[in-house]
Amino acid sequence: MSFLRTVYYYYSLSKNLNHSRRKILELREKKFRKILRYAYRKIPFYMDFYRSFRIKENMLDEIPINELPTINKNIMIDNFDKFFKDDQITKNKVEDFLNNNPNPTSLLYDKYHVIHSSGSTGTVGYYLYSEKEWDFIKAISTRMFSNFTLKRKKYAFIGAVDGHYAAISLFLSPLNQTEKFFYKDYIVMDINKPIKTYLKKLNDFQPDNLTGYPYGIRSLAQFQNEGFLNIHPEVIVCGGEPLLKNVKLFLKEVWKNSKIVDSYATSESLAMGVSREDLKGMYIYDDAVYLEIQENKTILTNLYNYTQPIIRYELTDILKKSKNGGGKWPFTKIEQITGRTELIPFFVTQDGEKDFIHPIVIAEFFVKGVTKFQFIQRNQSSFVFKIVVSPKEPSDEIVQEVRKKLYDILEKKKMKNVNFEVKVVEDIKPDEKTGKFKLIVIE
């Protein structure tokens, strides 16, 4: 059923690419009103939340979207148990599941995909998708490829791999499914291990498609440029962090015949938009998400997730619309996305080499009971890891678990020589000068 449903979504979504802009906006509005009514009737949080603003059910078809109150990650986490129709789902059950089931392909209650992330806020969030919604994500993800075919190919992935992170969860989702047919073979590279350890494997493997975080792919490109790597992927898919212009130019310089794709996604919606060379820009999937683009933030409504409805949710991403009207697709066209870039901490390894810890490895850090955290690099051989601990949890045990997780990260990177301190604090404040929270601080 899963594969047939994905195929159905694929053909349905393909038709949307040929619609007029007006029809797409009408479709987006229709989907928005549908999930709004559903949330009001079925999701305890939204009924209480909207009623507190004197919004009644009979107003939902007409009320302008900007007159509905916004939510954010803190509101969602504080009211987490009330965001689901399925009352089996609780924050405690989700945290226990993540703690005991690190395999990205494992499902909560054998039916929910769970994604966790702190993003750039340092506050841990949890996002659930049903298998039906996951099939929708898989179908819409085919838009990353300009000529998607049934041909079997070899896929390589580089990123964080040892938990329920968005990218690896989606990459591995065809396993044990009919869609595995499309994977002639695959290789997974842990971004938190020295990249040079994968060079021989990659040379032997010769991937058709290379997917991962832009900085990780850039590191591979550097090895290719220096002659240590010799691969020629047809398509390179970047995601998880901004694909900076200079990085994109370098990738294109190294792999001249490869098609470069920039996939825009968040944990709150794994299907947001894409930039391809033939599209000449990035398009937002207006048939999957409703983005209200404002000067200093973006407000997201996920139009396909009924498991955990996300309506008018504030993102820190800052989007700039394209000045050129029209385009190949009838969707919102974007010039750039800012506000997501994190500093990259470099340390000297036990072998005397300089290496990095990828920001997403830090952003996706998870230990049950840790509600917020911040990474502060003191120098090339030490850092402080500040954590805020839930008052319901035993602090000493959590600190030990955090230390264990950090040791594991450092050991993989051959950085056992790096010293660190885990510091429990009541809260972690935004930067005094900018007023913005910094997940990674380099002193």
CATH class of 346-442: alpha beta
Return the structure tokens found at 264.
């825009």
pLDDT classification of 187: cutoffs 50, 70, 90: very high
- For residue 425, the tally of other CB atoms under 10 A from its CB is 13
Q: Has residue 157 got a pLDDT over 90?
A: yes
Band (219; pLDDT cuts 50, 70, 90):
very high
Mean pLDDT, rounded, for 236-263 = 93
Q: What are the extents of the domains in the chain?
A: 1-341, 346-442
pLDDT of res. 177: 78
Lowest mean pLDDT segment, chosen from 155-169, 174-188, 373-387: 174-188
* pLDDT at residue 339, as a whole number: 60
Write down the pLDDT at residue 244: 86
Q: Which of the given ranges, 33-42, 96-105, 161-170, 333-342, has the highest pLDDT on average?
A: 33-42
The pLDDT, as a whole number, for residue 325 is: 64
Is residue 260 a contact partner of residue 238, using CB atoms and an 8 Å limit?
A: yes
122-136, 252-266, 326-340, 346-360: which has the minimum mean pLDDT? Answer: 326-340
pLDDT for 413 equals: 94
Please report the pLDDT score of residue 214 as a whole number. 92
Is residue 89 within 8 Å of 229, Cβ to Cβ? no
Joined together, the tokens standing for residue 376 give 């502060």
Pick from 63, 18, 98, 86: nearest CA to 367: 98
Q: Kindly indicate whether the domain formed by 1-341 is annotated with CATH number 3.30.70.270.
A: no
What pLDDT, on a 0 to 100 scale, did the predictor assign at position 340? 62
Compute how many other C-beta atoms are within 10 angstroms of the C-beta atom of residue 328: 13
> In 3D, which of 375, 287, 276 has the Cα closest to residue 327?
276
Please say if the pLDDT value at position 1 is more than 70.
Answer: no
What's the pLDDT at 374?
95
pLDDT tens readout for residues 302-357: 999 999 999 999 998 889 888 776 688 999 999 878 766 778 999 999 999 999 99
Please give the pLDDT value at position 80: 97
Percent of the chain with pLDDT over 70: 98
Least confident of 121-130, 388-397, 418-427, 431-440: 431-440
440-442: strand order across its sheet: 419-424, 382-389, 370-379, 440-442
Share of the chain above pLDDT 90, in %: 79
Number of CB atoms found within 10 A of residue 147's CB: 9
What's the rounded Cα separation, in Å, for the pair 291 and 304?
13
In this predicted structure, what is the pLDDT of residue 241? 85
CA dist., res. 181 & res. 172, Å (int) = 13
What is the Cα Rg of the chain in Å? 22
Question: What is the rounded distance in angstroms from the CA atom of residue 325 to the CA atom of residue 332?
Answer: 9
Q: For the beta carbon of residue 2, count every other beta carbon within 10 angstroms.
A: 15
**Longest alpha-carbon distance in the chain:** 67
pLDDT at 28 over 60: yes
> Structure pTM?
0.89
Question: Do 268 and 243 touch, CB atoms closer than 8 A?
Answer: no
> Per-residue pLDDT tens for 45-75?
999 999 999 999 999 999 999 999 999 999 9
